[in-house]
A = this chain, B = another copy of it.
Amino acid sequence: MASHGARGRGGGRPTLEEVAARAGVGRGTVSRVINGSPRVSDATRAAVEAAVAELGYVPNTAARALAANRTDAIALVVPEPETRFFAEPYFSDMLRGVGAALSDTEMQLLLIFAGSDRERQRLAEYLAAHRVDGVLLVSVHADDPLPELLSQLEIPAVISGPRSAAETLASVDSDNYGGARQAVEHLLGRGRRTIAHITGRLDVYGAQRRIDGYRDALREAGHAADELLIEAGDFSEDGGRRAMAALLERRPDLDAVFAASDVTAAGARYALREAGRRIPDDVALVGYDDSAIARHMDPPLTSVRQPIEEMGRAMIDLLLAEVADRRPTATRELERRQMVLATELVGRASS
């Protein structure tokens, strides 16, 4: 009859205190049960859990965040100025993995755009205010100041696609080197002999690793190095087209092309068409990413698939480990980790 006072403006969601009263225990005990502390007797735990269920109690995140000085949220920073980004299956699949991994936890996912200067400014403030426990960084350029900022603020972060071999942040990547080798070995296996490579943006570490894989695969197969068969692209369609045209001019005898992305391959295809080369009869074409474009291209494009969904999962695993490690109870033990996941060649008609 009394004690209705606690139910106020919020629409009457039950509080810890109400659960405690119902279960006939103290506030601290309920908190322990909610947070899975082992220091609670079985009988008490059961009583509390019953009260929680009856009242439909859900902890108030804001109160928890305030009291415990954590947020139970992580941010996914989308750095591209042109957020075409999303349209890439790369991103959507990763998000899928991230979502799946996250659904096993209490963490929530914040999407933060950092395309414009304005947005980056806001992001910096945001991080300075420690409004997230950790950050997921996707496709960061070599000269981006963000990773440095994160280190300074001591905010756990995981990057997809390390910036260099000496990446200081925890990172998750696919095996760009191995993927490139798979592509080249596949082409060699199909009897191709003069295999060109259109690279990605050279300031992207992954693109460098693909070049390395391309070179090593050819060398180990006994082919002499030929830099004339390598032309720089930039992951764009237009870049692929230009690079292909340049290659055809330099080495009209080429019979295969390994492009650093599917979009690049789409550009290369135009150039090949214009030059009257048939795919795969005259020139075999292999892309990278196994995106929707690869499936819908004419002819369908052989491509190197990255296990992107798994990468998303792995990023969350790493990040949560780092976050946990920062918490007061943790034993500061975690070594920096770099994960590399295997790729897979998806054969289609273009080769």
Contact = CB atoms under 8 A, between A and B. Distances in A.
Interface in A44-86: 56, 58-63, 65-66, 69, 71, 76, 78, 83-86
Interface string A10-38: 11010000000000000000000000000
A96 B102 CA distance: 23
Contact of A296 (B69, B131, B266): B266
Q: How many copies does the complex hold?
A: 2
A129 B61 contact: yes
A58 B126 CA distance: 8
Interface stretch (A112-120, A168-176, A214-222, A239-247): A112-120
A142 interface: no
A103 interface: yes
A62 B292 CA distance: 41
Query: Which 3 residue pairs are nearest across A and B when measured between Cβ atoms?
Result: A86-B92, A62-B65, A298-B298
Contacts of A277: none
Interface in A121-144: 122, 125, 128-131
Nearest to A84: B92
21 contacts: A11-B130, A13-B130, A59-B129, A62-B65, A76-B111, A78-B99, A83-B99, A84-B92, A86-B95, A87-B92, A91-B92, A92-B92, A95-B111, A99-B111, A103-B113, A103-B119, A108-B112, A109-B111, A110-B110, A292-B292, A298-B298
A39 interface: no
Interface of A: 9-11, 13, 56, 58-63, 65-66, 69, 71, 76, 78, 83-87, 89, 91-93, 95-96, 99-100, 102-103, 108-113, 115-116, 118-119, 122, 125, 128-131, 154, 266, 292-293, 296-298
A56 B128 contact: yes
A108 B108 CA distance: 12
A89 B87 CA distance: 5
A1 to B, nearest CB: 26
Nearest to A96: B83
A87 B292 contact: yes
A312 to B, nearest CB: 11
A122 B103 contact: yes
Contacts of A63: 62, 66
Contact of A292 (B83, B130, B293): B293
A62 B58 contact: no
Contacts of A118: 103
Given A11-B130, A129-B58, A130-B10, A92 B96 contact: no
Contacts of A296: 266, 293, 296-297
A69 B8 CA distance: 11
A91 B85 CA distance: 11
Given A86-B86, A86-B91, A62 B56 contact: no
A187 to B, nearest CB: 23
A54 to B, nearest CB: 15
A109 B78 CA distance: 12
Contacts of A56: 128
A69 B10 CA distance: 7
Nearest to A82: B96
Contacts of A87: 87, 89, 92-93, 292
